[in-house]
């Protein structure tokens, strides 16, 4: 690894693609800001990430993702060259994520060097640690991104994830809830039924419906389903299966800023292992999460206010997006187990400690 680079005045950061990963990279962004408070930090990512990330004090501006076509990457490289960045912090780990910074000849280009082409694009290369079997080791994504900023000579600035909730998002969500008869005193839980990764990460709709009913009957919580784009039918299915009223926010779905405001408004979050889970953890909320095909080591952090449910099956973690068999890693997590975990977590919180 080269020596620590010269001090930067302009820093370009390529974000990861997944929402959860964006939240989990915020400690690395905070380390950049703390290490170089005078520098201008611009982040590049998917358009839907803009509001979520630009609300943070560690970020000064947002650059839209240029797309996948080679001609778009070439043009984007020329545009980045005109910006005269000193550092490129490449948290996205693909060749495509590194190509514009390489084409722009940004002097310092740091990130994980997975594959020969990606390694050739970097000046400061990291390798994923490997286990005894020689395969890449699964470990916390917070740590994974923080290793990049450490490689640039920056000490950690805490591991807490950052998520800002805007006043505009609070107002919009309050209006949506009020229109459904849920005022500021309503006791809500947010339920995340989808997962952008694929169906293998999704707890069955009938299980979600049964858990929502039990939590309503025992504690009076109204479940609010907050699907992402393309998950509307799944949320409506859960709502239709539930015996008690469940609000499915689908027309339109919430954007990420509004989702953050809904999570903040909730007493409990029930989620698949997907991006909103990390958003809820960043807000300090009690979270119950069902984990199936993905190794839980990637998100094994900040567990005090979480309960992670996993079935003891031989085939997990398989990392398949679609289960090739009977989806036992998720179907064997029962609604009763989830409800018991929620009650155990909230009992451990103590009286009056439900809302953070």
Give residue-wise pLDDT tens across range 42-97: 999 999 999 999 999 999 999 999 988 999 999 999 999 999 999 999 999 999 99
Task: Specify the pLDDT at position 135.
Answer: 85
Q: Residue 131: is its pLDDT beyond 90?
A: no
Predicted confidence band of residue 250 (pLDDT cuts 50, 70, 90): very high
Query: What is the pTM for the complete model shown?
Result: 0.94
**152 within 8 A of 110, measured Cβ to Cβ:** yes
3-state secondary structure 275-295: HHHHHHHHCCCCEEEECCCCC
Measured between alpha carbons, how far is residue 217 from residues 154, 179, 244, 268 in Å?
50, 23, 9, 15
User: 191: which strand partners?
Assistant: 225, 270
Q: Residue 1: is its pLDDT beyond 80?
A: no
The rounded percent of the chain whose pLDDT value lies above 70 is 97
Q: Residue 222: is its pLDDT beyond 50?
A: yes
How many angstroms separate the CA atoms of 97 and 93, rounded?
Answer: 6
Q: Residue 350: is its pLDDT beyond 70?
A: no
The rounded percent of the chain whose pLDDT value lies above 90 is 91
Contacts of 316 (CB under 8 A, 6+ apart): 292, 293, 310, 329
How many angstroms separate the CA atoms of 88 and 335, rounded?
Answer: 46
**DSSP run (H or E) holding 209:** helix 205-219
User: Alpha helices of 4-126 — where are they, by DSSP H?
Assistant: 19-24, 26-35, 50-54, 70-83, 95-103, 116-120
Predicted confidence band of residue 206 (pLDDT cuts 50, 70, 90): very high
Mean pLDDT computed over every residue of the chain: 94
Task: Specify the pLDDT at position 354.
Answer: 41
Neighbours of 22 (CB within 10 A): 26
Q: Residue 110: is its pLDDT beyond 60?
A: yes
Predicted confidence band of residue 143 (pLDDT cuts 50, 70, 90): very high
Mean pLDDT of 317-321: 95
Task: Specify the pLDDT at position 164.
Answer: 96
Task: Specify the pLDDT at position 3.
Answer: 64
Task: Specify the pLDDT at position 2.
Answer: 65
Q: What is the pLDDT of residues 7-23, one digit of tens each?
A: 899 999 999 999 999 99
Beta strand pairing status for 87-90 and 108-112? parallel
Task: Specify the pLDDT at position 356.
Answer: 35
Contacts of 198 (CB under 8 A, 6+ apart): 320, 321, 322
Domains of the chain: 10-151 (3.40.50.2000), 171-348 (3.40.50.2000)
Mean pLDDT of 115-139: 91
Task: Specify the pLDDT at position 353.
Answer: 42
Q: At 89, give phi and psi (nearest 5°).
A: -105, 105
Mean pLDDT of 271-296: 97
């Amino acid at each position: 690894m080269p020596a620590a680079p010269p001090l930067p005045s302009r820093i370009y950061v390529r974000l990861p693609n997944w929402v959860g990963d964006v939240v989990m990279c915020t400690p690395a962004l905070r380390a950049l800001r703390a290490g170089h408070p005078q520098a201008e930090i611009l982040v590049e990512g998917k358009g839907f990430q803009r509001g979520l990330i630009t609300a943070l004090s560690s970020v000064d501006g947002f650059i839209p993702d240029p797309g996948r076509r080679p001609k778009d990457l070439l043009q984007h490289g020329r545009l980045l060259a005109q910006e005269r960045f000193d550092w490129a912090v490449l948290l996205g780990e693909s060749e495509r994520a590194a190509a514009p910074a390489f084409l722009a000849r940004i002097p310092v280009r740091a990130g994980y060097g997975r594959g020969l082409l990606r390694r050739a694009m970097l000046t400061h290369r990291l390798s994923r640690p490997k286990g005894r079997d020689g395969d890449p080791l699964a470990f916390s994504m917070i740590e994974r991104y923080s290793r990049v900023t450490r490689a640039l000579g920056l000490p950690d600035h805490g591991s807490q994830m950052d998520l800002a909730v805007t006043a505009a998002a609070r107002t919009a969500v309050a209006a949506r809830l009020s229109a459904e008869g849920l005022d500021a005193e309503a006791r809500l839980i947010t339920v995340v039924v989808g997962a952008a990764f694929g169906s293998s990460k999704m707890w069955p709709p009938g299980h979600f419906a049964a858990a929502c009913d039990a939590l309503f009957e025992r504690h009076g919580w109204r479940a609010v389903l907050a699907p992402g784009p393309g998950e509307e039918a799944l949320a409506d299915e859960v709502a239709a299966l539930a015996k008690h009223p469940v609000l499915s926010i689908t027309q339109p779905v919430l954007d990420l800023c509004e989702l953050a405001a809904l999570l903040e408004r909730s007493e409990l979050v029930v989620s698949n292992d997907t991006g909103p889970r990390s958003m809820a953890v960043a807000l300090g909320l009690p979270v119950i999460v069902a984990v199936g095909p993905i190794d839980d080591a990637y998100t094994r952090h900040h567990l005090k206010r979480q309960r992670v449910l996993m079935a003891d099956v031989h085939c997990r973690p398989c990392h398949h997006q679609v289960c090739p068999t009977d989806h036992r890693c998720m179907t064997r997590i029962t609604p009763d187990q989830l409800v018991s975990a929620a009650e155990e977590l909230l009992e451990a919180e103590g009286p009056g400690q439900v809302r953070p």
